[in-house]
Amino acid sequence: MRRLPLEGIRVLDATHFWAGPSATGILGDLGAQVVKVESIQRYDAGRTLQVDLSQEKGYERAPAFQAFNRNKLGVTLNLGDERGVRAFRALARVSDLVMENFSAGVMDRLGVGYQALRRENPTLVMISMSGYGATGPWRSYVAFATPIAQVSGIAHLTGYQGGPPLSRFSASGVDPIVGLFGAMAALVALHQRRRTGRGFYLDFSQHEAIVSLMGTPLMDYVLNGRNQARQGDRNPVAAPHGCYPSRGEDRWVSIAVFNDDQWERLCHALENPEWCRDRRFADAVGRHRHQDDLDQHITRWTSQRDAQETARLLQEAGVPASPVRNCREVLDDSHLEAREFFLEMDHPVAGRHRQPRHPVLYSKTQPPPPRPAPLLGEHNQAILSGLLGLSRETLEELEQDQVIGTVPLRTKV
């Protein structure tokens, strides 16, 4: 069994919420030792998402925290105390990479910014994943997924024609995409350090990561003067295109026809009804121009059929189609089961559950069994004593003074 790509790399993880932890989570899945730093004064706010904090140890049960913090070691350090700062610097001294996603300047004010850490470790790589970057007039703005989706232009294109912009993309799109960009930046940075032997600092803007997704609409405006508008499930070049109702409550099938060949295949699968021969639908331009009428015909056909069977029939005919699945159906997906996509996790508080694995399979590497997300401060002794060499007496003093600990001082952040 070969080693995972990042085995031997240590990441000091000072990220929180979703975007940052998903980036470091990818590195953990790739074999890096990720040491996650929280504090009993202010733990990762991801522990508060979609969970009832009034239940016993609710902060250990949050789905988002479980999803993005597996394969990590957890320590607590109060960076408002000089002893916590010294411990963080000591961890940076024996780490390869530090990642954080606070607002610009926060790490410097805490005494653990890049200049302070590089004095401890000249070959250290540090990535700051702030909302709007370390420079510019918005550098100090507070950033969350929703405002980033709005200001990047993505939300302006999300929604139905004539309706308001929708921020739904922010919940499912901004954070994981930023996380992917962050992980990519980390891999490139580690590769560059291996080539040069030098450490360096990366200024990563979450805002710019999402603006970069706007390439086609932005270039359409630059080159053609068109300011694209909201169009729901419609596509600029495909028709029919969208989600169509199927038999049963809240059942849908997705169909996308991009060219004349797929259109002919669709008509053949539908047994060539009379409306397929309508001259208005003879080419892509006509189908796009008359989408409302076309969608009515498609809907009458799909609404009488099972979504899974409709998708199977169209796929066999060579037409892109799929059933629209809810979370339960995704977890029960036989294809994903055949590829062993879901990991079985056993967390001491959250209990047994399944999680999506890293989506890449390596032909000659079998990853070790995954570790569940750490309890708050679970690895204080292993890291602070085993790695940094702090004595038992020192750890007891730090815990008494609330520099470290395993129980939060409050259950909300």
Do residues 274 and 300 touch, judged by C-beta distance below 8 A?
Answer: no
CA distance 33 to 12: 9
Query: Do the domain assignments include residue 231?
Result: no
171 and 280 share a domain?
no
115 and 154 share a domain?
yes
Query: Do the domain assignments include residue 3?
Result: no
CATH code, domain carrying 374: 3.40.50.10540
**Residue 116 CB partners (closer than 8 Å, separation 6+):** 89, 108
CA distance 159 to 386: 53
pLDDT digits (tens, 9 = 90+) for 259-306: 999 999 999 999 999 999 999 999 999 999 999 999 999 999 999 999
Query: Do the domain assignments include residue 35?
Result: yes
Residue 412's pLDDT band, with cuts at 50, 70 and 90, is: low
394 and 274 share a domain?
no
78 and 184 share a domain?
yes
Local structure of 146: helix, strand or coil: helix
130, pLDDT greater than 80: yes
Domain count, the chain: 2
Residue 128's pLDDT band, with cuts at 50, 70 and 90, is: very high
> Before 240, cis peptide (omega within 30)?
yes
**Among 312, 330, 348, where does a domain finish?**
330
CATH code, domain carrying 290: 3.30.1540.10
**Residue 43 CB partners (closer than 8 Å, separation 6+):** 59, 76, 376, 408, 413
138 and 159 share a domain?
yes
Residue 171's pLDDT band, with cuts at 50, 70 and 90, is: low
Residue 172's pLDDT band, with cuts at 50, 70 and 90, is: confident
| Per-residue pLDDT, 315 | 98
Query: Do the domain assignments include residue 96?
Result: yes
391, pLDDT greater than 60: yes
344 and 312 share a domain?
no
Determine if residue 204 is left, alpha or beta; phi over 0 gives left, psi from -120 to 50 gives alpha, anything else beta. Answer: beta
- Give the residue among 159, 138, 156, 157 at the shortest CA–CA distance from 207: 138
For 46, the domain range is 10-213+340-400
CA distance 257 to 319: 7
pLDDT digits (tens, 9 = 90+) for 132-168: 999 999 999 988 888 999 999 998 998 888 899 887 7
Query: Do the domain assignments include residue 1?
Result: no
